[in-house]
Amino acid sequence: MQRPDVTIVIPMFQEVENAADTVAAIAGVLEREGWSFELVPVNDGSSDGTANVLERLAAEDPRVRPVSYEHNRGRGYALRQGFNAACGRYVAALDADLSYTPDHAVRMIRMLIEDPETDIVLASPYMPGGRVDGVPLIRLFFSRTGNWILRRTLTRPVYTSTGVVRAYRGDALRRLELTSDGKEIHLEILSEAMILGMRIVEMPAVLASRKKGSSKFRPRSTVTSHLVFSMLERPAAIFAALAAVLMLASLGLGAYLLAVYFEGNLNPERPLMTIMVLLFLGGAVGMSFALLGMQLVGLRRQMVRMQSELRGMRDTIEAVRGTSPHDD
């Protein structure tokens, strides 16, 4: 099969109201650009007829190559299946509800074409020049707060790290060994890309509320996954901060007890002595965990680099043998 210029991956769950219009809108934008393309909508175990709509669209247009499976597995799993099926030189992902209009994909891909040094482009409503229109306040609060925290967690800060709407240089995307099934995949992608030294840029974007269908946003699961990611990405900083607080509290309490001692009123049996010792020991344990966290992060980064190198070697061998699904 001739390798297309562009692949658009569209994860879908219970999107029967949007599926046909979304596919048509994206195809129309790409046709105007004159690029060869394929659309890979991924039916993530929908039970509302989304799969049937995608099958009909694929029968009408061979450029529509749906991926479908029976049970709902999560945003990350759907994206991984779509990425694995993608053959394009450039791969972009869009939301099924088109809360980011299809022209965002075109603009991101143009940025990749115009700058060969860029590997990933992020659609960013939270960077200067971006904006949000009509998004419910509760969702906007969690999204902005989470991205503010994650901006200080990632090794290279970005304004919007949790969005699905991105464009990738195909060869760069295929270097990543992704494992996440949930929305934390967006953070996993950025973390691995940064470890591998990929160039990531942001593009001002407009995030709008969905027009049809129901939102899949779940605050509890989203917040939990982002907190877990922050712990795994910067465990040394978190434990070091905790240790510093405990140590400072221990020193402050020790200074107070020393002053009491010089006044001749110190009673060794007072609970403050025990509390001071416990605070100091807690700080020492926290510092130990911080050092261990540094070692674990370093080990993870080495593993990511090794996995990327092994995947590159495997793809090279498959290409030589003529078995690679991404050959021209």
The sign of the torsion formed by the CA atoms of 275, 278, 282, 288 equals: positive
195 & 242 share domain: no
186 & 241 share domain: no
181 & 41 share domain: yes
Establish if 297 belongs to a structural domain.
Answer: yes
What would the mean pLDDT of 23-37 be, rounded to a whole number? 95
110 & 13 share domain: yes
DSSP 244: H
Of the two residues 256 and 104, the one the predictor is more confident about is: 104
Establish if 314 belongs to a structural domain.
Answer: yes
162 & 219 share domain: yes
Phi, psi values for residue 232, rounded to 5°:
-75, -30
CA dist 88 and 7 (Å) reads: 5
% of the chain with per-residue pLDDT over 90: 48
What would the mean pLDDT of 4-26 be, rounded to a whole number? 95
DSSP 5: S
What is the chain's mean pLDDT, rounded? 86
What would the mean pLDDT of 67-79 be, rounded to a whole number? 94
Q: Out of 22-31, 118-127, 294-303, which region has the weakest mean confidence (pLDDT)?
A: 294-303
85 & 144 share domain: yes
- The pTM for the full model equals 0.75
Q: Out of 67-76, 112-121, 161-170, 232-241, which region has the weakest mean confidence (pLDDT)?
A: 232-241
Confidence of residue 222 (pLDDT cuts 50, 70, 90): low
Confidence of residue 315 (pLDDT cuts 50, 70, 90): confident
195 & 268 share domain: no
Q: pLDDT of 239-272, one tens digit each?
A: 777 888 888 988 898 888 788 778 777 666 668 8
Establish if 52 belongs to a structural domain.
Answer: yes
For 14-61, give the DSSP string.
Answer: S-TTTHHHHHHHHHHHHHHHT--EEEEEEEES-SSSHHHHHHHHHHH-
Confidence of residue 328 (pLDDT cuts 50, 70, 90): very low
Q: Is 122 helix (H, G, I), strand (E, B) or coil?
A: strand
Among 172, 197, 190, 168, residue whose Cα is nearest residue 94 = 168
The pairing of strands 131-133 and 67-69 is unpaired
CATH code for the domain of 59: 3.90.550.10
Establish if 1 belongs to a structural domain.
Answer: no
User: In this predicted structure, what is the pLDDT of residue 321?
Assistant: 75
For 286-316, give the DSSP string.
Answer: HHHHHHHHHHHHHHHHHHHHHHHHHHHHHHH
Q: Is 74 helix (H, G, I), strand (E, B) or coil?
A: coil
User: In this predicted structure, what is the pLDDT of residue 160?
Assistant: 93
Q: pLDDT of 278-307, one tens digit each?
A: 888 888 888 887 777 766 767 777 777 777
Considering 231, 264, 282, which residue would you say is the last residue of a domain?
231
Find the domain containing 292 and state its range: 235-321
Residues 6+ apart with CB under 8 A from 130: 124, 159, 160, 204, 205, 206, 207
Establish if 41 belongs to a structural domain.
Answer: yes
- CA-to-CA dists, residue 24 to 32, 250, 317, angstroms: 13, 64, 37
Q: Out of 122-136, 226-240, 287-301, which region has the weakest mean confidence (pLDDT)?
A: 226-240
Among 159, 253, 257, residue whose Cα is nearest residue 207 = 159
Considering 173, 199, 231, which residue would you say is the last residue of a domain?
231
Asked if residue 327 has pLDDT above 60, the reply is no
164 & 39 share domain: yes
Q: pLDDT of 269-281, one tens digit each?
A: 668 878 888 888 8
User: In this predicted structure, what is the pLDDT of residue 261?
Assistant: 75
Q: Chain-centre distance of CA 18, in angstroms?
A: 24
CA dist 94 and 105 (Å) reads: 7
Establish if 327 belongs to a structural domain.
Answer: no
Asked if residue 95 has pLDDT above 70, the reply is yes
Domain count within the chain: 2
CA dist 86 and 31 (Å) reads: 18
- CA-to-CA dists, residue 192 to 132, 213, 230, angstroms: 28, 33, 14
CA angle 185, 225, 81 (to 5 degrees): 25
